[in-house]
Structure 1
Amino acid sequence: MKLIYYILLRISLALTVILTGWAIFFYVAVMDEVNDEVDDALEDYSETIIIRALAGEELPSTSIASNNQYFLKEVTEDYAGHRDDIIYKDSMVYIPEKRETEPARILTTIFKDDDDRYFELTVATPSIEKDDLKEAITGWIIFLYFILLLIIIIITVWVFYQNMRPLYTLLHWLDKYRIGTKNEPLQNETNVSEFRKLNEAAIRYAERSEQMFEQQKQFIGNASHEMQTPLAICRNRLEMLMEDESLSEGQLEELIKTLQTLEHITKLNKSLLLLSKIENGQFTETAQVEVNVLLKQYLADYEEVYEYRGIETTLHEEDSFHITMNETLAVVLFTNLLKNAFVHNVEGGRIHIVITSHSVTFRNTAVKEALDTAHIFERFYQGGKKKEGSTGLGLAIVDSICKIQSLGLRYYYQAGEHCFEVSNR
């Protein structure tokens, strides 16, 4: 997951909690203020009625349509003593003029006249307007909640990209950087000291990697030269010794075995050097390669070499498969897969190659069942039994080439055949 997504997720969660708490607090505060205003109006109305009642003046009508209404009744001293002086509550009241029940805010209070009689006064005011106000406030809070959340997120994203632009520039440069090739210099001006240090560190380590790459290339070249020459000399000396007619049959057999071992070491050395060069990116030149033509060219050679095993080979071309890669690596890639299909086949087996516009699949019979997909492309892995003439590096080289060239490589076992598929991703 990208850094911006982590930040957005965490900011969204934090803002959701904060804004939800704010919205609830704001709603409660506003409604408390609304109730205070209504209660103040009820208190004023009740005081007017109490003053008139105590002064013996005429009281207003008990119901004035949808406006305030009151109910006055005499109560006992004991009842008055067990009641609070003032009680506020929300309830439903019946309005005779409208012949319906409506929600109202109610104030109930106890007072005593000059004759020590106790009265309970209930004053009510319809709260329909207050409910409408509640709905309006709730709607606006929800609207402002989401608008504020969206605006904060947008501003956060904008600020993030503005401040992190040098980092993305550096990541883009590193992504395009290829060791051993000519790369564009890093152009990443910034006033942020941390980013400047990061740029300097990236350039410093890129230069160090280039130096190590050049040293490794030189080492590989020297190793190839220094090892191949002694191996060739040893091989020539063995061949000269084998021409000596005074050797016994047993001595000749031992020399042959030694020569075979030396040839195997030579092959192994060449394969390891090739694998090292591939992984170090020393094959940089690319061209358009038509795999159909390449396979036809080398298939005839391999059929001739392994003719004694009676292996039947078929090539099915559904379309032409073109890939852009180094030609030398293309030859190594497909000849290794072709050789693998012959070496690990059975006497009288078959090889079926299918070419489509986007893939090449090598299918071959073999004694064993499906191979271990977790280890099949590891170096020196050969399953349960080592094959004569195999170094155990063929598929490792294939895997390394596919990774370097961004090609898809897949192994699967189907209908008694081992299948290796190379495709364009």
Structure 2
Amino acid sequence: MKLLTKTTVYFLLIMLPVFAAGAFYLYTKFNKEIKHETDEELVNDKLQWMRYLDTASVNNPIFSISTPEFNLQPTEKAAQSKHKLKGINIYQEPENTYAPFRQLSQVITLHNNNYELVLRKSLIEKDDLIKNVVFVMLAAFAGLFLFVLLINWLISKSVWKPFYQSLGKIQRLQLNKMEATVFDHTVTHEFNQLNAALNNMTTRIHNDYTSIKELTEDAAHEMQTPLAIAQSKLELLLQDDTLSEAQLQSILISYDELQRLSKLNHNLLLLAKIENQQYPVTEQPNLCAVIEKYLLLFEELIREKDLIIYKEMTDHAPWPLHPALADIMVSNLLGNAIKYNYPNGRIDIRVNANTFSIANTSQLPEIPADILFQRFKKQNTGYTNSNGLGLAIVKKIADSYRLQLHYSFKNGEHVITVTPGL
């Protein structure tokens, strides 16, 4: 959940009970005031009736009258010094419903006789008034609530805008372009502190990255020269007829290891260049043509093992890769498929604009997923004469160009599938 959304939700959770409590309080207060005003009217009417009845004769028919709003009847009850007020519901025959009334009752003494005086006032109109007031009040509360919510959202969005700008820069950050990334000054102290820390961090990271990059490149280049000299010297020694068979064998082993070291150095330099994004996509090479090229280059190795090659390729399959990296990916995958295959084995190659898969038979077991693409790690001893960088390079190419790399093992076949990412 976004921070702005989270803030808004918390604001809603806090404000809704507050507004509900405020609405309930105002409704209760207003209803109480209506009843109070009605009670005052009833008391005033009682006083008026008392004055009138004091001057009326005993035989006046008013001393025995009953209506929904006025009732005066003789009673044997004792006289009361104070009236009683309460709310009642009276059946209304025309509407066939009960209507709310406010009632005042008191036993009074007139001309030495006791009478029960009952005065009532309808609350129907006042209830309608309350409903209208409540509706207006709720509408006002709703409007105010939405207005406050909108203002809070706009203010929060404006206040948090520098944060999201800095976050966007971090998400788009690239090591080779980090030097040009600057987090701007804002009017908010906390964001200024954050941006200052980010500026310092990116500067340190860029400096470290530049130092490591230069060290890697320099070391790789510097190592190539002594390796080449050592290989040339060993080649000369291999041509010396005065050396014994054991000496020649030792020199040959050293020569092979130097070649392996040279290849390792080259692959490490290649990984560093890929990580540094030194292979921009300037064109989309046809993967089918690259595969055909390497099938031709590996033709002798394929013939030695009598491998069966099955191809299912479209005429043109452009892929978003640097041409050099397309060559490296195909050569590594196809080279492994040939290298770890058995005589009379099979290699299946399928290519189109959306999928590149290569499957090969092998007597070697499934490679554990947790070490498949890791550098210098091959669990099974059957994977000999390998520095473990082939699939690591393919994985690095896939990550750098947002390709999805999937490995599976079924029916004795190792299958690696590459698909463009979303």
* TM-score tier (shorter): 0.7 to 0.9
Q: CA deviation at 1:219?
A: 0.6
SS at 1:25 equivalent: helix
Equivalent position of 1:406 in the other structure: 402
Query: Structure 1 pair 120/60, CA: closer, same or farther in 2 (3 Å)?
Result: closer
Equivalent position of 2:159 in the other structure: 163
Q: Is the 8 A contact 1:376 1:382 kept in 2?
A: yes
* CA deviations over 1:328-376 (Å, ceiling 9, x no partner): 3333233323333333444433222222333322333344665544443
Kindly provide the amino acid, as one letter, of the partner of residue 293 in structure 1.
Answer: A
Percent of paired sites with the same residue: 25
Equivalent position of 1:224 in the other structure: 220
Equivalents in 2 of 1:120, 1:319: separation in Å? 109
1:298-317 alignment to 2 at 5 Å?
Answer: 298-317=294-313
Equivalent position of 1:24 in the other structure: 24
Equivalents in 2 of 1:71, 1:289: separation in Å? 108
* CA deviations over 1:252-296 (Å, ceiling 9, x no partner): 444444443333333333222322232233334633333222222
- TM-score, L = length of structure 2: 0.81
1:23-422 alignment to 2 at 5 Å?
Answer: 23-49=23-49, 52=52, 58=62, 62-63=66-67, 68-70=69-71, 74=75, 76-77=77-78, 86-89=84-87, 91-95=88-92, 98=94, 100-113=96-109, 121-181=117-177, 186=182, 188=184, 190-245=186-241, 247-284=243-280, 286-318=282-314, 320-367=316-363, 371-413=367-409, 417=413, 418-422=415-419
Equivalents in 2 of 1:45, 1:221: separation in Å? 106
Query: Structure 1 pair 127/218, CA: closer, same or farther in 2 (3 Å)?
Result: same
- TM-score, L = length of structure 1: 0.80
SS at 2:176 equivalent: coil
Q: CA deviation at 1:301?
A: 1.9
SS at 1:357 equivalent: coil
CA RMSD of aligned residues (A): 3.7
Any gaps of 5 or more consecutive residues in structure 2?
none
Q: CA deviation at 1:314?
A: 2.5
Equivalents in 2 of 1:337, 1:71: separation in Å? 109
Any gaps of 5 or more consecutive residues in structure 1?
none
* CA deviations over 1:215-239 (Å, ceiling 9, x no partner): 2222112211232333334434444
SS at 1:323 equivalent: coil
Query: Structure 1 pair 71/421, CA: closer, same or farther in 2 (3 Å)?
Result: farther
Q: Is the 8 A contact 2:162 2:186 kept in 1?
A: yes
* CA deviations over 1:130-169 (Å, ceiling 9, x no partner): 4434543454454444433332232222222323333344
Q: CA deviation at 1:202?
A: 3.9
Give the number of equivalent residue pairs.
417
Query: Structure 1 pair 56/310, CA: closer, same or farther in 2 (3 Å)?
Result: farther
Equivalents in 1 of 2:16, 2:347: separation in Å? 62
Q: Is the 8 A contact 2:86 2:103 kept in 1?
A: yes
SS at 1:161 equivalent: helix
